């Protein structure tokens, strides 16, 4: 079977898998961003308890294996009465894991905003909430974008693990195709290329564009 014939035969299944992977990627990214923002802000709180919760969260999700976390969420939580559909369990695990990494980016981004900006906002009598939201976060956001680009590519690649709880993503389809055709090179080669194209020609350009837009907003570009 030529590679062209192989693609004709199995292309639709690769496509279906890619759509599921894209779904996992977008939902996990959204979750990771929200978690990162919340945990990052909590880590900067003056309140020791709030800070402590964030530290524990970050330590657990950054310090243990994503695969184990995925199995916990999918296989162990039902024992405690929380059963999630596999698709949900997949992106929740990936999002919570990468969110812990993102929290450090948020914290670092906020701390990289010069002290003078905090003082200027203070001198205008802004409340701490407004100061964070209107003055500090927009600037922190720009500083954080390059490392977030990296993190999102990492996240995309990590979504391949959800195949292990039978979410029919790109990796799952590839394994199935490989199981019935034994054309490993073609199968995993195709999967490899799709992941690469996704990261290189969708995620990276999007982040670059976002960076440019934000820099323009700052009048830097």
Partner 1 sequence: MMEDLSNYPLELTGDNVPMVRFLKVTKRYGDLVVLDQLDLDVAEGEMVTIIGPSGSGKTTVLRMLMTLETINEGVIYVDGKPLTHMEKNGKLVPADRKYLRKARSQIGMCFQHFNLFPHMTALENCMEGPVQVLGMKKAEARERAEELLELVGMSDKRDQHPSRLSGGQQQRVAIARALAMRPKVMLFDEVTSALDPEVIGEVTNVIRSLVEKHNLTMLMVTHQMGFAKDISDRVCFFFDGKIEEQGAPEDLFGNPQKERTQQFLSAVKEAD
By CB under 8 A, residue 200 contacts partner 1: no
Dihedral sign for Cα atoms in the order 66, 71, 76, 77: positive
Q: How many CA atoms lie less than 13 Å away from 144 in the CB half-sphere?
A: 25
By CB under 8 A, residue 50 contacts partner 1: no
Token output for 217: 């907003």
By CB under 8 A, residue 139 contacts partner 1: yes
User: Site for partner 1 (CB under 8 A): how many residues?
Assistant: 22
**Smallest distance from partner 1 to CB 207, Å:** 19
Among 135, 145, 155, 194, binds partner 1 (CB under 8 A): 135
CA separation for the pair 191, 109 (Å, rounded): 34
Nearer to partner 1, 135 or 165 (CB): 135
By CB under 8 A, residue 127 contacts partner 1: yes
- Where does 44-72 have alpha helices with state H? 48-63, 66-71
**Smallest distance from partner 1 to CB 130, Å:** 6
First to last CA, the chain: 51
Could you list the residues that contact partner 1 (CB under 8 A)?
114, 116-117, 119-127, 130, 134-135, 138-139, 142, 217-220
């Amino acid at each position: 079977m030529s590679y062209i014939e192989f693609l004709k035969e199995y292309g639709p299944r690769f496509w279906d898998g890619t759509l599921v992977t894209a779904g996992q990627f977008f939902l996990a990214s959204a979750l990771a961003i929200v978690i990162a923002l919340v945990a990052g802000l909590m880590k900067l709180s003056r309140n020791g308890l709030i800070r402590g919760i964030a530290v524990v969260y970050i330590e657990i999700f950054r310090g243990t294996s994503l695969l184990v976390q995925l199995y916990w969420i999918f296989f162990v939580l039902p024992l405690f009465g929380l059963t999630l559909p596999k698709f949900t369990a997949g992106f929740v695990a990936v999002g919570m894991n990468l969110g812990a990494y993102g929290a450090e980016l948020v914290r670092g981004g906020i701390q990289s905003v010069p002290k003078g900006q905090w003082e200027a906002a203070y001198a205008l009598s802004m409340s701490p909430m407004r100061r964070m939201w209107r003055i500090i976060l927009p600037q922190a956001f720009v500083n954080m974008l390059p490392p977030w680009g990296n993190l999102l590519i990492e996240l995309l690649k990590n979504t391949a693990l959800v195949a292990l709880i039978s979410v029919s993503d790109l990796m799952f389809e590839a394994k199935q195709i490989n199981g019935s055709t034994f054309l490993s090179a073609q199968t995993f080669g195709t999967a490899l290329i799709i992941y690469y194209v996704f990261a290189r020609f969708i995620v990276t350009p999007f982040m670059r564009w976002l960076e440019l837009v934000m820099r323009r907003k700052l009048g830097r570009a």
